[in-house]
Amino acid sequence: NAGVTQTPKFQVLKTGQSMTLQCAQDMNHNSMYWYRQDPGMGLRLIYYSASEGTTDKGEVPNGYNVSRLNKREFSLRLESAAPSQTSVYFCASSGPGPGEGEKLFFGSGTQLSVL
């Protein structure tokens, strides 16, 4: 049981470049999330997917797109990276049973620098 796996761990981009962050979970969870973590600002929700086939915007969705490829996989795409997107990105999942829906299981994070 690997839990939540995200790749890559580190990435450096130039302004305007694009990239996709990959995330997969093997816990049969229904819900998946993408957060960004910036100093002093906690974790802010970018997008989430409550179930396969659905996605919704979170608090800071501008500049990002997501795809819920199947129940296991949820990817985050930066179409044209900007320095303001320099951050640590965490994928997370939750569910499916009663009382378990709120507990988030996080991936190990991706440190992204946009120059």
Binding residues vs another protein (CB under 8 A) = 31, 40-45, 48, 50, 56, 58-59, 90, 94, 101-104, 106-109
What angle (nearest 5°) sits at the alpha carbon of residue 112, between those of residues 110 and 114?
170
Minimum distance from CB of 31 to another protein (Å)? 6
Q: Exposed/middle/buried for 66, CB within 10 Å: 0-12, 13-18, 19+?
A: buried
Minimum distance from CB of 46 to another protein (Å)? 11
Cβ contact 105:80 at 8 Å: no
Residue number with CB closer to another protein (32 or 81): 32
Q: Pairing relation of β-strands 10-13 and 110-114?
A: parallel
What phi, psi does 77 have (nearest 5°)? -120, 135
Minimum distance from CB of 62 to another protein (Å)? 15
Residue number with CB closer to another protein (33 or 81): 33
Residue number with CB closer to another protein (17 or 86): 86
